[in-house]
């Protein structure tokens, strides 16, 4: 193997993409934050008039799931690298440490594909460079900045949502979980799909502020605003930490 993928495999690519020499040129884009906030304020009025933006609240038995917080997203130098990954990981670590102290279950996920031919690769590669996500690559390891623990399962998913095609929902039901705390990236894709599925499976869904990543400014703010209006509660980081610190392990259906 050379780089992320073998030369033999690249020769079979229809587009002949070469990612071995990828250079991250950064993502320091600018946008009119004031204008975006004005749009949010106007939208809030519309939503509230129509009964949106209600609060789910916190349940008694939470679990934490991280979305693609592997090195390919949370470390510099990969096509999937997210902006401000150091800050995102630092904030996520506060939530994870609070969960670890009280025994709240934590499930990590990452998206990766197997072997030379990557037969488990979906049609997604026609839109974005999914072939760079070799499941055995170092890039697919959960980023050390969030200090993953040996007893925290890592689910290897193939699509956007942490739930789609995985055992996550069944495992959470078995544990008696009623609340899912979602962190990771990206806000517009895998996080959003995970949040929507979490609510669809019947869980209260919480997103701690400052723990969601993406590559383009404005995308995070818009998606958090929209998810908070429709699918989840976007909560201050310190509130989520305090909530987790108060959990008693006896609330779960099995000893953990």
DSSP 86-132: HHHHHHHHHHHHHHHHHT--EEEEEE-B-TTT-TT--GGGGTS-GGG
What is the CB neighbour count within 10 angstroms for residue 244? 24
Residue tagged active-site, from 82, 89, 185, 190: 190
CA distance linking residue 142 with residue 123, whole number of Å: 24
Angle between helix 85-102 and helix 237-245 axes, rounded to 10 deg: 20
| Contact of 71 with 139, CB cutoff 8 Å | yes
Give the sign of the dihedral formed by CA 232, CA 236, CA 241, CA 244. negative
CA distance linking residue 153 with residue 20, whole number of Å: 30
Give yes or no: 190 in active site. Answer: yes
- Count the residues in the chain: 256
Positions marked active-site: 190
């Amino acid at each position: 193997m050379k780089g992320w993928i073998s030369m033999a495999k690249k020769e079979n690519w229809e587009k002949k993409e070469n990612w071995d020499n990828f250079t991250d040129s950064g993502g320091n884009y600018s946008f009119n934050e004031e204008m975006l906030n004005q749009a949010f304020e106007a939208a809030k009025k519309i939503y509230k008039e129509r009964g949106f933006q209600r609060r789910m609240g916190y349940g008694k038995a939470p679990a934490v799931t991280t979305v693609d917080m592997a090195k390919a997203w949370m470390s510099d130098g990969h096509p999937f690298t997210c902006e401000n990954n150091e800050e995102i990981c630092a904030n996520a670590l506060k939530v994870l440490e609070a969960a670890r102290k009280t025994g709240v279950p934590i499930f990590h996920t990452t998206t990766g594909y197997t072997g030379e031919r990557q037969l488990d690769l979906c049609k997604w590669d026609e839109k974005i460079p999914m072939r760079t996500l070799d499941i055995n690559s170092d890039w697919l390891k959960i980023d050390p900045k969030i200090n993953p623990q040996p007893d925290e399962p890592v689910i290897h998913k193939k699509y956007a949502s942490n739930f789609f095609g995985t055992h996550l929902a069944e495992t959470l039901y078995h544990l008696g979980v009623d609340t899912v705390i979602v962190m990771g990236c990206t806000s517009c894709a895998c996080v959003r799909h995970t949040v929507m599925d979490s609510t669809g499976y019947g869980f209260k869904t919480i997103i701690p502020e400052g723990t969601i990543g993406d590559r383009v400014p404005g995308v995070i703010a818009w998606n958090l605003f929209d998810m908070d209006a429709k699918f989840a509660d976007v909560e201050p980081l310190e509130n989520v930490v305090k909530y987790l610190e108060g959990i008693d392990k006896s609330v779960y259906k099995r000893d953990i």
